Amino acid sequence: MGLFTGLATLPLAPVRGVVWIAGRIHDEAHRQLYDPEVIKQRLEEVAEARESGELTDEEATREEDELVRRLMSQGPPDGGLEV
């Protein structure tokens, strides 16, 4: 980037910064929603909550269904076919 281009686009720097931060937030949210290890951990937490009575069977089943749906929507971890 040349000096003139750098000076001309300087007013856009805050916008580029916000776009970069939004991208990082999106990536982290996606990771937390669809990472298989995070989902498996949450499934264990739901099972424990069901056993302790914190969640009813209906609530636990509903949450487990959602977690399994997210886990299955990602496909194999390497993106290929399982053999």
* ∠ Cα 71 77 64 (to 5°): 10
Matching residue, tokens 């914190």 = 54
Q: What is the pLDDT of residue 11?
A: 84
Q: What is the pLDDT of residue 75?
A: 55
Q: What is the pLDDT of residue 41?
A: 95
Question: pLDDT exceeding 90 applies to what percent of the chain?
Answer: 57
Q: What is the pLDDT of residue 2?
A: 77
- pLDDT tens track for 61-74: 999 999 999 988 87
Whether this prediction's pTM lies above 0.85 is answered by no
